[in-house]
């Protein structure tokens, strides 16, 4: 899990997108149509969690993804595509499913805890400050495949991590 990378994942507003465009060499591990990243460390057993500071503006999503998640071309996020996540989009908190499932939160979370129990196939999200549950996905079968932390940000949004995952 590369905390150097995740310490401050922040992108400028959409108007500055042209300055971010780069002529990068082809890399099969790079997402090419979405501002997504996978954590360096993957998990194939046990339990762990990590926390991210989230903004209350723009759009972001945090969770886990199968290592085999599609990274090229347009695709839909959701468990059926190997991504279990929650996020903020257009001022609404959502479970990242297809279609998206609205979350009715009576508070604005500042830090999200992503909790993974690989053996039980459980991915759950909590407010890291109050420990209030946000959402738990139904049990999944990862079938021995490595899963990694997954993040998506909209231009102008921000996510920060200050520590390694706890195992």
> CATH number of the domain that 28 lies in?
2.60.120.920
The per-residue pLDDT for 160 is: 74
Residue 66 maps to a domain: yes
Q: Kindly tell me if the per-residue pLDDT of 11 is higher than 60.
A: no
Residue 71 maps to a domain: yes
Residue 99 maps to a domain: yes
Which of the two residues, 66 and 23, has the higher pLDDT score? 66
Q: Tell me what the mean pLDDT of segment 130-153 comes to.
A: 92
> Measured between alpha carbons, how far is 161 from 167 in angstroms, rounded to an integer?
16
Q: How many domains does the chain have?
A: 1
Q: How confident is the model at residue 79 (pLDDT cuts 50, 70, 90)?
A: confident
Extended beta strands in the chain, E state: 9-10, 36-38, 47-54, 60-66, 83-89, 92-95, 101-102, 111-117, 122-127, 133-136, 147-153, 158-160
Residue 37 maps to a domain: yes
Residue 167 maps to a domain: no
Q: Tell me what the mean pLDDT of segment 8-14 comes to.
A: 36
Residue 165 maps to a domain: no
Q: Supply the range of the domain harboring residue 55.
A: 3-160
Residue 18 maps to a domain: yes
20: helix, strand or coil? helix
Q: What is the mean pLDDT of the chain?
A: 77
Closest by Cα among 112, 119, 115, 126 to 165: 115
């Amino acid at each position: 899990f590369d905390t150097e990378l995740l310490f401050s994942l922040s992108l400028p507003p959409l108007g500055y997108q042209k300055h971010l465009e780069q002529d990068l060499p082809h890399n099969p591990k790079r997402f090419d149509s979405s501002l997504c990243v996978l954590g360096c460390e993957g998990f194939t057993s046990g339990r762990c969690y990590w926390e991210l500071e989230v903004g209350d503006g723009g759009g972001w999503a945090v969770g886990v993804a199968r290592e085999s998640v599609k990274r090229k071309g347009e695709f839909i996020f959701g468990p059926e595509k190997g991504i279990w996540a929650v996020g903020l989009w257009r001022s609404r908190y959502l479970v990242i499913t297809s279609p998206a499932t609205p979350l009715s939160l009576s508070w604005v979370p500042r830090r999200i805890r992503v909790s993974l129990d690989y053996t039980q196939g459980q991915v759950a999200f909590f407010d890291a400050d109050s420990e209030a549950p946000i959402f738990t996905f139904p049990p999944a079968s990862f079938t021995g495949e490595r899963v990694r932390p997954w993040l998506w940000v909209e231009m102008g949004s921000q996510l920060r991590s200050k520590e390694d995952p706890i195992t």
